[in-house]
Amino acid sequence: MAIRNRKTRLIHLRRSIYVILAVAALSLSVLCAEEAAQFPENFRRWVHVGTGVIMPPASPQMTSEEGMHHIFANEKAVEGYATGNFADGSMVVYELREAKQQNGIIFEGDRKRVDVMIKDSAHYASTGGWRFQRFWKDDQAQNAVHDNGTSCFQCHQKANAHGFVFSQLK
Ligand code: HEC
């Protein structure tokens, strides 16, 4: 009798360990559900679409964009710029740097931010087929967009006539 009791207790213990392990695995998978960041390597060697400079004091809506920004497109996106139809695999980068001014010369300084759009129509149907990501300064590991790109797309959808891409390559 005593042996049997010990056995059932052991079985119970083993069962609770399995349950604890299963719960731990589940919560881990929920925690890791956020997709891994995709930083566009060597984007400065892609095609340069254009550059803009917003010098301080900028209007309140534009202060976040103060500096010098460059837009770069990979090969696939270059084709999209011509047709307004961006194929899967297209990538466009908006790189914001400090704008320094000295003796009438404006030149770029440190990197402030990198915004990235990657086209994958099956996965990102709710944001026009684009994945939106944001990286601060020189960080390449942490994507600062946590709302699946909804807030980025709210504005970018105004460019719907050109595949949700504002800039033009002409
Ligand atoms: C309030 C409107 C607005 C919001 C919000 C916005 N963007 Fe943009 N974005 C623009 C405009 C306008 C341009 C074009 C800038 C230029 O041509 O100099 C642009 C350009 C870009 C580009 C270059 C491709 C293009 O459309 O010309 C990328 C990449 C980009 N944004 C990513 C993002 C990401 C990522 C977010 C969210 C974290 C975001 N944007 C939020 C207005 C917005």
Does ligand 1 lie within 6 Å of residue 132's CB atom? yes
Task: For residue 159, give the ligand 1 atom closest to its CA.
Answer: 26
Ligand 1 atom at minimal distance to the Cα of residue 116: 29
Cis preceding-peptide flag for 56 (omega within 30 of 0): no
Q: Domain 43-162 in CATH: superfamily?
A: Cytochrome P460 (3.50.70.20)
94 and 73 in contact (C-beta within 8 Å)?
A: no
Q: pLDDT by residue for the chain (170 residues), tens digit each? A: 555 666 666 666 666 656 555 555 555 555 556 799 999 999 999 999 999 999 988 899 999 999 999 999 999 999 999 999 999 999 999 999 999 999 999 999 999 999 999 999 999 999 999 999 999 999 999 999 999 999 999 999 999 999 999 999 99
What tokens does 69 get? 């920004």
Q: What is residue 65's predicted lDDT score, i.e. its pLDDT?
A: 97
Which pTM value belongs to this model? 0.86
The predicted structure's pLDDT at residue 12: 65
167: Cβ below 6 Å to ligand 1?
A: yes
